[in-house]
Structure 1
């Protein structure tokens, strides 16, 4: 086939990933969304029964190359003939990828019965991998008394009785009992060493009041750079305190701060703490 003849052929569609934003694909951890969807628009010579192939190629954190055959000569269905080709891919295929590396989606279909019988290569899709940072703390019966996934007691919980892990419904949670009148200040703090400067993170907790008498608890979320969530009264319903900040250092301290000193009332339950990237 001459170059002139080649230029007259209709352009083949590039694969698209629904979950990508522009040229970026954020890869969550396995307990996040189920996966991604790769779509290829109808091409001019699409036929029911055409064998389709999809490879994904990239780079792993250990320096190795990742190449996976996701779809191996699977025939075009009647539904795909009408709507275009589509496949769901589990996030499990993307674990171990190198952050900020490029991930290539290569789609192939034999369009004509030529002598070679080789599949035609559609324009590949290249996306930049962005690994989602996720640090989630929940509680269990096996937890200790002063270190919960790196969250350490502060001066507002100096008395060992102030914070205890106990059963809460079908699960476990961290109960703040405020045994003393020295319950204001840093309740819990954790030092994070691996943040990306300039990246936006979300810091949050699920908390509720559990003895609805006397002093109402007031909590805030703070970092070594400033306030993330201002002082907020805690009610008996689950309160989701959550705010975002931009990391100005790879090492930052996060804090849950109590603003009520009294031990009369001022009791609450923390069921979950998280730090995730946007």
Structure 2
């Protein structure tokens, strides 16, 4: 095919990523969510069996270049001939990328047959990488008594009998939780606190806790979620078997202290179990 002939042909489509918003791609911290989907609309000379190739290029946090061959001469299927080309990519491929760097998707297809035919390069797609912040705390039988993934006991749990990790379940797939025994009448104040570093100023985050009442008698637990700059979730009664306290805030500094605060002083009743604590970027 001559250059003059190629200039008169329809333009080849640019790949697109289904999960991208505008020119940004937010990368989750795990593969729990659906995978990243790269698609290409049907092009003017698409044929079943046509070999296709996909490279992904970017920059890692350690300063090195990331270049991965995701698809290597895979043929176009009959379904793709009608609907367009598509492949799913595990998020694991993107876990080491540098935040706010650019990720480029390079798609090629061999449009002509013959021994000397080379794959044609489609217009590349460049996206800005946004890494999702996620800090999740759960509990296990090997946990200690005063540091749970950086969460430290406060004045409302100064008595070492108060916060104890124990099994929380019916014996089938036993889970563990942080039990608050509220052994004294000095149980109001900061229950747990943790200092977070590496937050992005101006970024919105969700702060949440899964907690349930334990003994269901006497004083009702009342908890709030706070930061060093204000209240995120106001004082809330923990009255049921399952309670989720969750709220959003905007980070005003790369370093912030988050707190779980008790508003019930009494040690009679006021018993509850924390099973999970999390901080995630939106």
TM-score by structure 2 length?
0.95
* Structure 2 counterpart of 1:236, from 237, 240, 247: 240
Aligned to 1:32: 32
Question: Aligned to 1:147, what secondary structure does the other structure show?
Answer: coil
1:15-54 map, 5 Å: 15-54=15-54
Are 2:179 and 1:181 aligned?
A: no
- 1:192, distance to aligned residue in structure 2 (A): 0.8
Aligned to 1:270: 274
Q: Conserved in 1, the CA contact under 8 Å of 2:157 and 2:163?
A: yes
List alignment gaps of at least 5 residues for structure 2.
Answer: none
Are 2:234 and 1:204 aligned?
A: no
- 1:92, distance to aligned residue in structure 2 (A): 1.4
- 1:230, distance to aligned residue in structure 2 (A): 0.6
Distance of aligned partners of 1:31 and 1:110 in 2 relative to their CA distance in 1, 3 Å threshold:
closer
Distance in 2 between the 1:256 and 1:141 partners? 22
Distance in 2 between the 1:242 and 1:116 partners? 61
Question: Aligned to 1:148, what secondary structure does the other structure show?
Answer: coil
Deviations 1:227-263 (A, max 9, x none): 0011111122211111111110111000000011001
Distance of aligned partners of 1:185 and 1:142 in 2 relative to their CA distance in 1, 3 Å threshold:
same
* Structure 1 counterpart of 2:228, from 224, 230, 255: 224
- 1:184, distance to aligned residue in structure 2 (A): 0.5
1:1-278 map, 5 Å: 1-2=2-3, 5-113=5-113, 116-169=116-169, 170-278=174-282
- 1:35, distance to aligned residue in structure 2 (A): 2.1
Deviations 1:10-57 (A, max 9, x none): 111111111111111111112532421111111111100000000000
Question: Aligned to 2:80, what secondary structure does the other structure show?
Answer: helix
- 1:116, distance to aligned residue in structure 2 (A): 4.4
Structural RMSD (CA): 1.3
Distance of aligned partners of 1:31 and 1:256 in 2 relative to their CA distance in 1, 3 Å threshold:
farther
Q: Conserved in 1, the CA contact under 8 Å of 2:209 and 2:276?
A: yes
- 1:129, distance to aligned residue in structure 2 (A): 0.5
Distance in 2 between the 1:67 and 1:211 partners? 56
Distance in 2 between the 1:58 and 1:76 partners? 26
Q: Conserved in 1, the CA contact under 8 Å of 2:31 and 2:92?
A: no
After alignment, is 139-148 or 85-94 more displaced? 85-94
Q: Conserved in 2, the CA contact under 8 Å of 1:210 and 1:236?
A: no
Distance in 1 between the 2:66 and 2:270 partners? 53
Q: Conserved in 1, the CA contact under 8 Å of 2:222 and 2:237?
A: yes
- 1:6, distance to aligned residue in structure 2 (A): 4.0
List alignment gaps of at least 5 residues for structure 1.
Answer: none
